[in-house]
């Protein structure tokens, strides 16, 4: 687990990512917490995790490794996708792409 400020957040906004686990469809599930919006449940399909996090293959071991290595990207995606009070949020590939970096 880790705590870090989000890219576009105020200095007092921290996002904490809970321990991930796999659901029966091999999607990666985890919780996230931030001051101001509380807890949220998130999921990431294996194919999307492979695409956006750069796992070697679609195996749970490689997806988990990529998730742990790319924590900064995951926190940024959570920050962009978080909707207070709306329950589970399935992350999409677009949640991992910062609009300001497309021209870079």
Quick: pLDDT tens for 41-85. 899 999 999 999 999 999 999 999 999 999 999 999 988 887 666
Model pLDDT, residue 7: 45
Instruction: For residue 65, give the H/E element and its range.
Output: helix 60-69
CB-side exposure of 83: number of CA atoms within 13 Å? 9
pLDDT in tens, 21-43: 999 988 999 998 888 778 888 99
Domain topology for 2-45+71-91: Double Stranded RNA Binding Domain (3.30.160)
Q: Which residue has the higher pLDDT, 92 or 88?
A: 92
């Amino acid at each position: 687990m880790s705590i870090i400020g989000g890219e576009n957040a105020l200095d007092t906004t921290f996002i904490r990512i809970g321990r991930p686990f796999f659901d029966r469809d091999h999607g990666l599930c985890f919780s996230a917490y931030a001051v101001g919006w509380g807890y949220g449940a998130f999921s990431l399909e294996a194919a999307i995790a492979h695409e956006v996090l750069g796992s070697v293959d679609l195996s749970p071991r490689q997806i988990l490794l990529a998730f742990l290595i790319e924590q900064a990207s995951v926190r940024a995606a959570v920050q962009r996708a978080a909707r207070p009070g709306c329950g589970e949020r399935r992350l999409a590939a677009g949640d991992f792409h910062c609009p300001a970096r497309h021209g870079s």
